[in-house]
Amino acid sequence: MDNDKRTLINYVIGFILSLLLTGTAYLAVTNQLFASGTLIAVIIGLAIAQVLVQLFFFLHLGHETKPRWKLVTLLFMLVVLFILVFGSLWIMQNLDYNMMPKHDVEEYMIEQNKKGF
Amino acid sequence: MNEEVAVKMRTDKTLFGFWVYVMTDCILFATLFATYAVLRNNTYGGPGSHELFNMPYVLAETLLLLTSSFTCGLALLAARKQQVKQVGLWLGATFLLGLSFITMELTEFAQLANEGHGWWSSAFLSAFFTLVGTHGLHITIGLVWLLVMGAFIMTRGLNEHTLRRLSMFGIFWHFLDVVWIFIFTIVYLMGVA
């Protein structure tokens, strides 16, 4: 099979897969198929699957020859992204906790005490 | 070294440089996503994402953008086979789909602003308009780029330069599609889940 034909098949497969993944995520949310915690995990999983589909079938990341600099820069970007996003969320949640009004802090401590250490 | 190999090396170098730019643009979007995630519940007493988002409308936007990513890929494929007419056809389709997407998005923004839920009304809406608006700005720039590039291809044909630009545009457009998937999931789907 020649190269162009393989690329065309890749595009078609990628397109169909991304439609299926989008549709599944949409229906899962509009019909509330899962409990809210599971639902969020499911749609994030579907989004990550879709990004992998796009990277592989549309951006042809799998066909890169060595040395795989595109992949290396992508992975480095992901490291920075994770530090940035989860670091921000962590810091802001901590700040939120530290800046709780006194009354709320007391209630929170009582709640925590009930759970036991 | 023959000419064909030299062209391929030049093209690969430029495309890698463009790829690195796209990776840094991902970091820009990461900061906006982090801001949105922190501020999403600070609605200042106004309506939150449950009340404001119209999901079928957003699904239609998503399908437009996904399809435009596909037609953009078909244009690239046709360019590799030196079929200028096909390239024009698929790029035209990509342009129209992208234009419909941005029109729908601006309509949504205008509707929100008219109902008094503009970027000025709460931290949640400021973060929402900044994140989704930055993506929309990228799409708009992409559409202008597409027009200029289309004119170049139609007048000068498919040579080394126009092919290289087309490949860069392909990377840019697929990347915007990837960013939109995250906006669709994190802003819209998680907003109403």
ipTM of the complex: 0.90
Q: Which of A22, A69, A84 shows the shortest C-beta gap to B31?
A: A84
Domain ranges of chain B: 51-192
pLDDT for A1 beyond 70: no
What's the pLDDT score for residue B34? 96
Task: Give the confidence band of A116 by pLDDT, cuts at 50, 70, 90.
Answer: confident
pLDDT digits (tens, 9 = 90+) for B160-178: 999 999 999 999 999 999 9
- Name residues whose C-beta falls within 8 Å of residue B19's C-beta, 6 or more positions apart in sequence: A70, A73, B171
Q: DSSP string covering B164-189, please?
A: HHHHHHHHHHHHHHHHHHHIIIIIII
B115 vs B30: CA distance, rounded Å: 29
pLDDT for the residue numbered A56: 92
- pLDDT the model gives residue B23: 97
Distance CA B168, CA B25 (A): 14
CATH code of the domain made up of B51-192: 1.20.120.80
CA distance A72 to A74: 5
Distance CA B159, CA A11 (A): 24
pLDDT of A8 over the 80 cut: yes
Comparing alpha-carbon positions, the chain B residue that sits nearest to A9 is B74
Higher pLDDT, A112 or B109: B109
pLDDT of residue A10 exceeding 70, the answer is: yes
Q: Does B8 touch chain A (CB under 8 A)?
A: no
Task: Identify residues of A whose CB sits under 8 angstroms from chain B CBs.
Answer: 4, 7-8, 11, 14-15, 18-19, 22, 25-26, 29-30, 32, 36, 39-40, 43-44, 46-47, 50-51, 54-55, 58-59, 69-70, 73-74, 76-77, 80-81, 84-85, 88-89, 92
Q: What confidence score (pLDDT) does residue A117 get?
A: 60
| Cα B188 to Cα B11: distance, rounded to the nearest angstrom | 38
Record: contact A47-B74, CB cut-off 8 A: no
Q: Which of B33, B37, B178 sits opposite A51 (nearest CB)?
A: B178
CA distance B31 to chain A (A): 7
What is the rounded average pLDDT of the residues B19-42?
96
pLDDT in tens, B130-168: 999 999 999 999 999 999 999 999 999 899 999 999 999
Distance CA A4, CA A80 (A): 35
Q: Is the pLDDT of residue A112 over 90?
A: no
pLDDT of residue B121: 93
CB of B189 closer than 8 Å to CB of A29: yes
pLDDT per position as a tens digit, B54-112: 999 999 999 999 999 999 999 999 999 999 999 999 999 999 999 999 999 999 999 99
On whether the CB atoms of residues B32 and B179 are closer than 8 A, the answer is no
Residue B5 predicted with pLDDT over 70:
yes
Which strand (E) or helix (H) includes residue B66? helix B55-80
- Cβ-based contacts of A15 with chain B (< 8 Å): 66-67, 69-70
Q: Taking a C-beta distance cutoff of 8 angstroms, is the pair B146, B115 a contact?
A: no
DSSP character string of B84-98: HHHHHHHHHHHHHHH
pLDDT, tens only, A40-86: 999 999 999 999 999 999 988 888 888 899 999 999 999 999 999 99
- CB B174 to CB A58 under 8 A? yes
The answer to whether A22 touches B62, Cβ cutoff 8 Å, is yes
Give pLDDT, residue A63. Answer: 80
